[in-house]
Amino acid sequence: MTSKSEINLQNFYVYNSAFGQSDGEEDKKILFYYPPKTDFDTQMKNVGLSEAIVKFTDTFSSDQLCEALHTQKSRQLYYQAEGGFWMTVGIPFVTKVKDGTEYFEYQSDDVQDNVYLAVLRQSYQMFRLFKGSFTSILSNSRGDVIHLKHKLDHFFSRYLLTLKLNHSDILDIFQGIQFLPLDKQTFLHVQCFVNLIEATFAQVKYTAFLYNDQLVWSGLEPEDMQVVYRYLVTSLLPAHLETELQGGSMPRHPSSPFLSSHYGRFVTGPANLQDASGGTGKVPKVYVNNDATPEIYHLVVYRALSATVCLFIEGSLHLNLDLFKRLDIFLGPQLTTLVSEVAEQCGRQAAGINANSLDPSPKFVYFNKLNLAQKSTVHLDSRRTGNVAVTPEVLRLLADINADKARMSTTGETILKTMTDYWVVGKVSNLREFYVVIHQKNANLIEINDEVKRLSDSQLKSIFFHD
């Protein structure tokens, strides 16, 4: 059996038609283009086609912007990130070899508009998190388009290489947050710990607390935490854990190697607090509250065992090694103690779930648009690595049902059966979505409906669904 080839981007570009209006200055409207080695004539042809399609479709509906163009060989998706600024992506194709010659095989059946439009939006949100909005960059540089081009090239030339289009699915549409429910006492201890951090260190404006890639507490607005959470779970923390694994087991606090003081260490910040020559290490700056008045913060991430604390420190402050030492002395012992309590609570919850689970075979995906809460047993981890418990065809069906929900009212249900005896159910109610996958050959609609109700009652006890 041959493995499936990776889907590649055909192109990706950012442009603004308001730039380069004069003859001979048309290149100024192209702010970023990938692949970078594409000749200028091809760039202008593709950008010109995008401009023409957007303007043409605007004559039919000025309220609804053009989002996709389907052709026999490829597909173009359009996203207006800001006023006048358009981002376009062309996908997909795979490279194959026949008789010693490489050729492109187009995979239009594998492309779902709602999934890849979400990927396009995420790319903008991630850029805005680390660089700020396009408009603010131009404003701060007094309209210097070259400065904006440099920032776009610096970010996207790296970011696009990290995209895993083969693993994009319905969770990219939701871009939700997986929360960790705790009992009142444990949650109160976490909240007291967070409050104590912010009271002790006036430089810390916001704090977020995660355990095993699940969010326990965040002081950020949900929309900002949504983007930060994705960066942490899919990029920063996996890279940090890989580095730790390559270096062996996790060391204890470097200042006391023979004492069990704590297991805390900085993910962003100094690698060794005892070595002043290393400085403060790499600490990224992030932009939050971009829709109102953008605020800039240093993102300091500290981790002990399975717990992660994110500290958003005023961006105007100069970070020094003394601050990191004081943070380590304060955070390390308390976080190491607190993570043990959270782990014990999670262990009790897991035991209860296993005891009450009558049939583990049905899989589900849940999303609440009100608080961005997300839960999935279809995906076996939250790292977005393609580790799923269903077939690719069933995974695409989930996104198809999601795309079709616009035809429903505030409440609705869709039930499908595949040729391979998979039942796929999608329920929408009160801005909540619930998708269930059941692999059962001889079941009927009544049995499937009863199974969905049972699953909803056991997994989402506090969630109200209209019948």
Distances (CA, A) of 404 to 171, 368, 398, 428: 16, 17, 10, 11
Which range of 342-346, 385-389, 416-420 scores highest in mean pLDDT? It is 416-420
Is residue 253 scored above 90 in pLDDT? Answer: no
* Backbone φ/ψ region at 227: left (φ over 0), alpha (ψ -120 to 50), beta: alpha
Is residue 8 scored above 60 in pLDDT? Answer: yes
Tell me, what amino acid is at 252? R
Contact in structure between 342 and 186 (CB atoms under 8 Å): yes
Name the nearest CA neighbour of 124 among 267, 291, 10: 291
Is residue 268 scored above 50 in pLDDT? Answer: yes
**What pLDDT does residue 246 have?**
60
Looking at the chain, the whole-number percentage of residues with pLDDT higher than 90 is 51
Tokens 């916001």 appear where? 206
SS3 of 339, please?
helix
Q: What are the tokens at 158?
A: 């790296």
Band of residue 361 on the pLDDT scale cut at 50, 70, 90: confident
Q: What is the pLDDT of residues 254-264, one digit of tens each?
A: 444 434 466 78
Band of residue 357 on the pLDDT scale cut at 50, 70, 90: very low
Q: What are the tokens at 64?
A: 């609804």
Angle at Cα 268 formed by Cα 266 and Cα 274, nearest 5°? 50
Task: Determine the average pLDDT of the residues in 423-445.
Answer: 90
Out of 103-107, 165-169, 402-406, 446-450, least confident range: 103-107
- Which residue spans within 265-321 are E strands per DSSP? 265-266, 285-288, 295-304, 307-314
Tokens 């009992």 appear where? 183
- Per-residue burial over 97-112, b if 16 or more Cβ lie within 10 Å, else e, is eeeeeeeeebbeebbb
CATH fold, domain 357-459, is Beta-Lactamase (3.30.450)
**Helix 113-131 vs helix 222-231: crossing angle, to nearest 10:** 90
Q: What is the pLDDT of residues 19-49, one digit of tens each?
A: 877 777 778 899 999 999 999 999 999 999 9
- DSSP assignment of 75-135, as one string? EEEEEEEETTEEEEEEE-EEEEEETTEEEEEE-GGG--HHHHHHHHHHHHHHHHHHH--HH
SS3 of 281, please?
coil
**What pLDDT does residue 347 have?**
81
Q: In what order do the strands lie in the sheet with 373-376?
A: 373-376, 363-368, 432-439, 422-429, 411-417
Distances (CA, A) of 363 to 118, 313, 375, 384, 450: 23, 40, 11, 17, 15
Name the nearest CA neighbour of 252 among 243, 240, 261: 261
Q: What is the mean pLDDT of the chain?
A: 85
Distance CA 416, CA 401 (A): 9
Is residue 356 scored above 80 in pLDDT? Answer: no
Contact in structure between 20 and 27 (CB atoms under 8 Å): yes
Strand partners of residue 417: 423
Radius of gyration of the chain (CA): 24
Name the nearest CA neighbour of 211 among 244, 240, 180, 188: 180
Q: Where are the domains of the chain?
A: 11-168, 184-253+261-354, 357-459
Q: What are the tokens at 121?
A: 């939006």
Domains 184-253+261-354 and 357-459 share a fold: yes
Contact in structure between 88 and 76 (CB atoms under 8 Å): yes
Distance CA 54, CA 68 (A): 10
CATH superfamily placement of domain 184-253+261-354: Dynein light chain 2a, cytoplasmic (3.30.450.30)
- The two most distant CA atoms of the chain are separated, in Å, by 73
Which CATH code, of 2.40.50.140, 3.60.20.30, 3.30.450.70, 3.60.130.10, is assigned to 11-168? 3.30.450.70
Residue 394 Cα to chain centre, angstroms: 22
Looking at the chain, the whole-number percentage of residues with pLDDT higher than 70 is 88
